[in-house]
């Protein structure tokens, strides 16, 4: 369906082709202007239009295989709403005599007094739950930190004791002069006597 066919499809409901063309032009113009300005246009049940930034990147030319630098750019994005998705997938049937994408039922978005109270209770429960979790998370690291401190203290004391023992061994090794074995001396004498 192109724009002319869209205008023909809604012309009967709007009282003529010119009114339908004007309506389509005005709606599309409003969407385009809002997205260009960086706003998000959201139509409940249909979808949302938004501006998305794409960073600079490298791509490949499909004909030559050459690596090409692509500049940073902005592109429009459309995300279909849940109602639209359900109609396309077949989860919901398309109404014959009614509008396919309806305005949200009264009270579903803002909520009545009963739904507001229920929402307030849920919010209070959510606020209470994270505090318990946060307290548990805070307690756990302290136990871990205490365990790390004790192991670090044990390692430090072990290093101190080995450091104290090591110099004593070194000093004993330094005090004792290196002795040559008697077998080496005799072989050296024999070698010199043979040469004479």
Residue 189 pLDDT: 54
Confidence band (pLDDT; 50, 70, 90) for 102? confident
Which region, left, alpha or beta, applies to residue 98 given φ > 0 means left and ψ of -120 to 50 means alpha? beta
Give pLDDT tens digits for 1-49: 999 999 999 998 888 999 999 999 999 999 999 999 999 999 998 999 9
The model's pTM: 0.49
Confidence band (pLDDT; 50, 70, 90) for 113? very low
Give phi and psi for 15, each to the nearest 5: 90, 20
**Is residue 65 scored above 90 in pLDDT?**
yes
Give the 3-state secondary structure of 83-121: HHHHHHHCCCCCCCCCCCCCCCCCCCCCCCHHHHHHHHH
CA nearest to 103, candidates 19, 49, 42, 26: 42
**CATH 4.10.520.10 fits domain 3-125:** yes
Residues written for the chain = 196
CA nearest to 121, candidates 129, 109, 110, 132: 129
Highest mean pLDDT among 76-90, 98-112, 129-143, 173-187: 76-90
pLDDT-wise least confident of 20-34, 47-61, 92-106, 156-170: 156-170
Confidence band (pLDDT; 50, 70, 90) for 94? confident
* Domain spans of the chain, in order of start: 3-125
Residues 51 and 74: beta-carbon distance below 8 Å: yes
């Amino acid at each position: 369906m192109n724009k002319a066919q869209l205008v023909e499809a809604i012309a009967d409901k709007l009282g003529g082709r010119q009114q339908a063309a004007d309506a389509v032009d005005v709606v599309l113009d409003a969407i385009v202007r809002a997205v260009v300005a960086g706003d998000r246009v959201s139509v409940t049940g249909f979808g949302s239009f938004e501006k998305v930034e794409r960073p600079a990147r490298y791509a490949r030319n499909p004909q030559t295989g050459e690596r090409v630098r692509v500049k940073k750019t902005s592109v429009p994005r459309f995300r279909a709403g849940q109602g639209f998705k359900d109609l396309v997938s077949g989860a919901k049937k398309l109404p014959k005599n009614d509008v396919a994408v309806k305005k949200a039922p009264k009270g579903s978005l803002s909520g009545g007094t009963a739904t507001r109270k229920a929402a307030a209770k849920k919010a209070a429960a959510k606020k209470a739950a994270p505090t318990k979790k946060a307290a548990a998370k805070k307690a756990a690291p302290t136990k871990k930190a205490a365990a790390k401190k004790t192991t670090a203290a044990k390692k430090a004391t072990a290093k101190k004791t080995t450091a104290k023992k090591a110099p004593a061994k070194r000093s004993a090794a330094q005090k004792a002069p290196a002795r040559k074995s008697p077998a080496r001396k005799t072989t050296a004498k024999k070698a010199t006597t043979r040469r004479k």
